[in-house]
Chains A and B, each alone.
Chain A
Amino acid sequence: MIPAAFDYIRAHSPDEAFSHLQQHGGDARVLAGGQSLIPAMRFRLARPAVLVDINGLADLGRLELGRTALAIGAIARDSAIERAPWIGETRWSLLHDVSRVVADPVVRQMGTVVGSLCHNDPSGDWTAVALAARAAVVVRGRQGTRTVPIDDFLVDSFTTAVGEGEMALAVHFPVPGDRTAGSYQKVERKVGDFATAAAAVQVTLDGKGAIKEAGIALSAAGPCAVRVTEAEQALVGQKPTADVIRAAADAASKRSEPQADLRGSVEYKKNLAGVLVARGLRQALARLGVQA
Chain B
Amino acid sequence: MAEARQVPEVAAPAVAQGNAAYAWPTHPTYMGTDVQRIDGPDKVTGRAKYSYDIQRPNMLYGRIVRSPHPRARVVAIDLTMARQAPGVKAALAVVEPNAILMFQGEEVAAVAAATEEQARDAARLVKVQYEVLPPLTSVEQAMSPDAPKVFPDGNVREGAAEETGDLAAGFKAAAHVVEQTYNTQVQTHVSLETHGCVCEWDGDKLTAWVSTQAVHGTREGFAQALKIPQANVRVITQYMGGGFGSKFAPDAQGIICANLAKQAGAPVHLMLDRKEEHLATGNRPSAYAKIRAGVSADGMLTAFDAQTWGTGGAGVGAGFPLPYIYQFPNRRRQHKDVYINAGGARAMRAPGHPQGCFITEVLMDELADLVKLDPVDFRMKNLPPDAPDARWRAYFPIAAKLFGWDKRHPTGDATPGPIKHGFGCSANRWGGGGRGSHAHCEILPDGGVIMRCGTQDIGTGTRTLVSIVTAETLGLPIDAVNTEIGDSLYPFSGGSGGSTTAASVTPAIRVTAVKALDALKAKVAPKLGVPPADLVASDGRLHARNDRAKGMTWKEACRTLGAEPIAVDGEWQPGLSASGTSGVQMAEVEVDTETGVSKVTRLVCVQDCGLIVDKLTAESQVIGGVLFGVNYALFEDRILDRNTGQMVNPNMEWYLIGGPSDVPEITAHLVDQPERGVIGLGEPPAVATAAAIANAIANATGVRLRSLPMTPDKVLAALEQQRAGGTR
B residues near A2, Cβ cutoff 8 Å? 117
B residues near A268, Cβ cutoff 8 Å? 596, 712-713, 716
Question: Given A262-B648, A265-B713, A268-B716 in contact, is the A190-B594 Cβ separation under 8 Å?
Answer: no
A-B contact pairs, 22 of them (CB 8 A): A2-B117, A189-B635, A189-B656, A190-B635, A190-B658, A190-B659, A190-B661, A190-B662, A191-B659, A191-B660, A191-B661, A191-B662, A192-B659, A193-B659, A262-B639, A262-B648, A262-B649, A268-B712, A271-B716, A272-B595, A275-B595, A279-B594
A264 beta carbon closer than 8 Å to chain B: yes
**In the complex, A265→B596 CA distance in Å?**
13
**In the complex, A272→B658 CA distance in Å?**
21
B398 beta carbon closer than 8 Å to chain A: no
B residues near A265, Cβ cutoff 8 Å? 713
Q: Are B713 and A190 in contact (CB under 8 A)?
A: no
Mask: chain A, 1-33; 1 = CB below 8 Å from B; 0 = not:
010000000000000000000000000000000
A187 beta carbon closer than 8 Å to chain B: yes
**In the complex, A111→B38 CA distance in Å?**
37
Interface residues of B in 617-663 (CB under 8 A from A): 635, 639, 648-649, 654, 656-662
A residues near B568, Cβ cutoff 8 Å? none
Q: Are A262 and B713 in contact (CB under 8 A)?
A: no
**Given A187-B595, A275-B595, 18 more pairs with CB closer than 8 A:** A2-B117, A187-B597, A189-B635, A189-B656, A190-B658, A190-B661, A190-B662, A191-B661, A262-B639, A262-B648, A262-B654, A264-B712, A264-B713, A265-B713, A268-B596, A268-B716, A271-B716, A272-B595
Mask: chain A, 253-292; 1 = CB below 8 Å from B; 0 = not:
0000000001011001001100100010000000000000
A residues near B659, Cβ cutoff 8 Å? 104, 190-193
**Which residue of B is nearest A191, CB measured?**
B659
A residues near B712, Cβ cutoff 8 Å? 264, 268
**In the complex, A235→B713 CA distance in Å?**
30
Q: Least Cβ distance of A133 to chain B in Å?
A: 24
**In the complex, A279→B648 CA distance in Å?**
33
Mask: chain B, 711-728; 1 = CB below 8 Å from A; 0 = not:
011001000000000000
Interface residues of A in 185-230 (CB under 8 A from B): 187, 189-193
Closest 7 CB pairs of A and B: A190-B659, A191-B659, A275-B594, A191-B661, A262-B654, A187-B595, A268-B713
Chain A residues at the B interface, C-beta cutoff of 8 Å: 2, 104, 187, 189-193, 262, 264-265, 268, 271-272, 275, 279
Q: Least Cβ distance of B278 to chain A in Å?
A: 14
Q: Least Cβ distance of A5 to chain B in Å?
A: 12
Secondary structure of the B contact surface, majority rule: loop
**Which residue of B is nearest A268, CB measured?**
B713
**In the complex, A104→B662 CA distance in Å?**
14
**In the complex, A279→B596 CA distance in Å?**
15
Q: Least Cβ distance of B346 to chain A in Å?
A: 25
B residues near A189, Cβ cutoff 8 Å? 635, 656
Secondary structure of the A contact surface, majority rule: loop
**Which residue of B is nearest A187, CB measured?**
B595
B residues near A272, Cβ cutoff 8 Å? 595
B residues near A190, Cβ cutoff 8 Å? 635, 656-659, 661-662
Q: Least Cβ distance of A215 to chain B in Å?
A: 22
**In the complex, A42→B191 CA distance in Å?**
23
**In the complex, A271→B649 CA distance in Å?**
25
Q: Least Cβ distance of A267 to chain B in Å?
A: 9
Interface residues of B in 481-501 (CB under 8 A from A): none
**In the complex, A61→B117 CA distance in Å?**
38
Query: Number of residue pairs across A and B with beta carbons under 8 Å?
Result: 36
Q: Least Cβ distance of B119 to chain A in Å?
A: 13
**In the complex, A129→B120 CA distance in Å?**
42
Q: Least Cβ distance of B153 to chain A in Å?
A: 35
B residues near A275, Cβ cutoff 8 Å? 594-595
A residues near B716, Cβ cutoff 8 Å? 268, 271
**Which residue of A is nearest B662, CB measured?**
A190
Interface residues of B in 555-598 (CB under 8 A from A): 594-597
Q: Least Cβ distance of B326 to chain A in Å?
A: 34
Mask: chain B, 111-125; 1 = CB below 8 Å from A; 0 = not:
000000100000000
Q: Least Cβ distance of B652 to chain A in Å?
A: 11
**In the complex, A271→B596 CA distance in Å?**
11
B residues near A187, Cβ cutoff 8 Å? 595, 597
A residues near B635, Cβ cutoff 8 Å? 189-190
**Which residue of B is nearest A276, CB measured?**
B595
A residues near B594, Cβ cutoff 8 Å? 275, 279
A residues near B596, Cβ cutoff 8 Å? 268
Interface residues of B in 19-72 (CB under 8 A from A): none
**In the complex, A189→B657 CA distance in Å?**
9
Interface centre among A189, A192, A268, A272, by most B CB within 10 Å?
A189
A residues near B639, Cβ cutoff 8 Å? 262
Q: Least Cβ distance of B635 to chain A in Å?
A: 8
B residues near A191, Cβ cutoff 8 Å? 659-662
Mask: chain B, 648-680; 1 = CB below 8 Å from A; 0 = not:
110000101111111000000000000000000
B residues near A193, Cβ cutoff 8 Å? 659
A residues near B658, Cβ cutoff 8 Å? 190
**In the complex, A189→B649 CA distance in Å?**
15
**In the complex, A283→B716 CA distance in Å?**
23
Q: Least Cβ distance of A262 to chain B in Å?
A: 5
**In the complex, A268→B713 CA distance in Å?**
7
Q: Least Cβ distance of A1 to chain B in Å?
A: 9
**In the complex, A172→B290 CA distance in Å?**
61
Q: Least Cβ distance of B570 to chain A in Å?
A: 47
**In the complex, A274→B641 CA distance in Å?**
30
**Which residue of B is nearest A267, CB measured?**
B713
**In the complex, A268→B596 CA distance in Å?**
9
Q: Least Cβ distance of A277 to chain B in Å?
A: 12
A residues near B657, Cβ cutoff 8 Å? 190
**In the complex, A192→B662 CA distance in Å?**
12
**Which residue of A is nearest B655, CB measured?**
A262
A residues near B595, Cβ cutoff 8 Å? 187, 272, 275
**In the complex, A193→B652 CA distance in Å?**
11
Q: Least Cβ distance of B721 to chain A in Å?
A: 15
Mask: chain B, 501-531; 1 = CB below 8 Å from A; 0 = not:
0000000000000000000000000000000
Q: Least Cβ distance of A224 to chain B in Å?
A: 21
**In the complex, A193→B658 CA distance in Å?**
11
B residues near A264, Cβ cutoff 8 Å? 712-713
Q: Least Cβ distance of A241 to chain B in Å?
A: 18
**Which residue of A is nearest B658, CB measured?**
A190
**In the complex, A36→B660 CA distance in Å?**
22
Interface centre among B117, B595, B712, B713, by most A CB within 10 Å?
B595
**In the complex, A275→B596 CA distance in Å?**
11
**In the complex, A262→B562 CA distance in Å?**
70
**In the complex, A185→B471 CA distance in Å?**
55
**In the complex, A191→B635 CA distance in Å?**
13
**In the complex, A271→B418 CA distance in Å?**
14
**In the complex, A109→B378 CA distance in Å?**
52
Interface centre among A192, A193, A272, by most B CB within 10 Å?
A272
Mask: chain B, 680-720; 1 = CB below 8 Å from A; 0 = not:
00000000000000000000000000000000110010000
B residues near A104, Cβ cutoff 8 Å? 659
**In the complex, A285→B659 CA distance in Å?**
31
A residues near B661, Cβ cutoff 8 Å? 190-191
**Which residue of A is nearest B637, CB measured?**
A262
**In the complex, A236→B282 CA distance in Å?**
58
**In the complex, A275→B648 CA distance in Å?**
29
A residues near B656, Cβ cutoff 8 Å? 189-190, 262
B residues near A279, Cβ cutoff 8 Å? 594
A residues near B117, Cβ cutoff 8 Å? 2
**In the complex, A191→B661 CA distance in Å?**
7
**In the complex, A275→B713 CA distance in Å?**
14
B residues near A271, Cβ cutoff 8 Å? 716
**In the complex, A207→B362 CA distance in Å?**
55
A residues near B649, Cβ cutoff 8 Å? 262
Q: Least Cβ distance of B194 to chain A in Å?
A: 14
Q: Least Cβ distance of B598 to chain A in Å?
A: 12
